[in-house]
Amino acid sequence: MGNSLVVTIDFGAHSAVVAATVTDYDRGRVEVLPLPAGTALDRADETVHDAITRAVAASARSGGVLTAPDALVLTHPQDWAADQVAVLHAASAAAGYSRNATVVRSRRDPLT
């Protein structure tokens, strides 16, 4: 991807968010982003927006500057149906991220 600030959101087997992190490659930092419990796929657009907002705040804390993430990485279990994956693509687009700035990929290992 070649971006310096990347937000990763891992969706779990039951459509709940399992983990969200922001990685600042320029500063060599990874920070866990706290998200509300029970965040689910039916609110993926809110989840992505919330994670981006928290990533901007994390960037300001560590670097003193409000910086939006350059890219999003959204992961999901490999057995998700195409319509579930489409929700993740739509959520990233709603947040203003193009397909070039978003990676949606499956995971073989379940996080839940």
As a whole number of angstroms, the distance between CA 110 and CA 31 comes to: 21
How many other C-beta atoms are found inside a 10 Å radius of the C-beta of residue 15? 17
Query: Looking at residue 111, what is its pLDDT?
Result: 59
Domain boundaries, the chain: 5-107
Mean pLDDT value across residues 86-105: 94
Q: Answer yes or no: is pLDDT of 71 > 70.
A: yes
**Can you read off the two tokens belonging to residue 103?**
């990676």
pTM score over 0.75: yes
**Can you read off the two tokens belonging to residue 83?**
């319509």
Query: Looking at residue 1, what is its pLDDT?
Result: 45
As a whole number of angstroms, the distance between CA 40 and CA 47 comes to: 8
CATH class of 5-107: alpha beta
